[in-house]
Amino acid sequence: MKTFLRNNGLSITFFLLFIATLFGQIIFGFEEHNKELIDEGSSAISLFPYLTSGHFVQSTFENWESEFLQMALFVVLTIFLQQKGSSESKDFDKEEEVDREPSPNRKDAPWPVKKGGFILAIYKHSLTIILFLLFFISFILHFCGSLKDENEQLSLKGLPLETASDYIGDSRFWFESFQNWQSEFLSVFAIIMLSIYFRQIGSSQSKPVDAPHMETGE
């Protein structure tokens, strides 16, 4: 168990933080949604119906969507683009380990590398593929949740409901997306630029403390 925790401490910690904050979102989102329902003259709902409500689905997946989009674009753009001095950038003036062709003879190479062919071609881009796939799934779920929440609110007011084809162009849906996307892109810009001039000893995301500002990469 000690070895498992040591080897997986980073992922376990972030997963537990995810569970804790998701639980917090559910509790306070449930309370906030019921306040809104009561204000509209409707009855409060119980917890389980809330978990399938548009309010919860929309608020959850609009955030997941932006996270996966940010990570997918960061993975792709760091292939071709450089930021001189950043620990988050490749140094194009020297060979990088990530650019070498995979060898099936390498010890403990993953099975797709040993398989070769089409399987290897997919595996070479599998991180980008899975991140964009998670983005599209989250985007669709965000859209469905947002549409459901919009129609729940319209129903309370006795107004005509929106169709999916109409709602895809609705300003509310795109406002929800762009307000999250811009914050994710800002955070990536911040870590790229701040890592040029600032350090954190011991972190894999920082350059060595004594590294020159214009030294690129970790």
SS3 content of the chain, % helix, strand, coil (to 5): 65, 0, 35
Contacts of the segment 171-178: beta carbons below 8 A, 24+ positions apart: 172/146, 173/143, 173/146, 173/147, 176/58, 176/62, 176/142, 176/146, 177/62, 177/65, 177/66, 177/139, 177/142
- Model pTM? 0.90
Residue 86: closest CA among 209, 197, 163, 12: 197
Specify the pLDDT at position 29: 96
How many Cβ atoms are within 10 Å of 108's Cβ, its own excluded?
Answer: 5
Specify the pLDDT at position 95: 82
Cα gap 149→167, rounded to integer Å:
11
Task: Give residue-wise pLDDT tens across range 37-75.
Answer: 998 888 999 999 999 999 999 999 999 999 999 999 999
Q: Are 45 and 34 in contact (CB under 8 A)?
A: yes
The two three-digit tokens of residue 172, written as one number: 């509310």
pLDDT over 70 percentage in the chain: 100
Q: Could you give the maximum distance between any two Cα atoms of the chain, in Å?
A: 69
Length of the chain in residues, anyone? Answer: 218
Residue 164 sits at φ, ψ, to 5 deg, of -60, -40
Task: Give residue-wise pLDDT tens across range 83-137.
Answer: 999 989 888 888 888 888 888 888 888 989 888 899 999 999 999 999 999 999 9
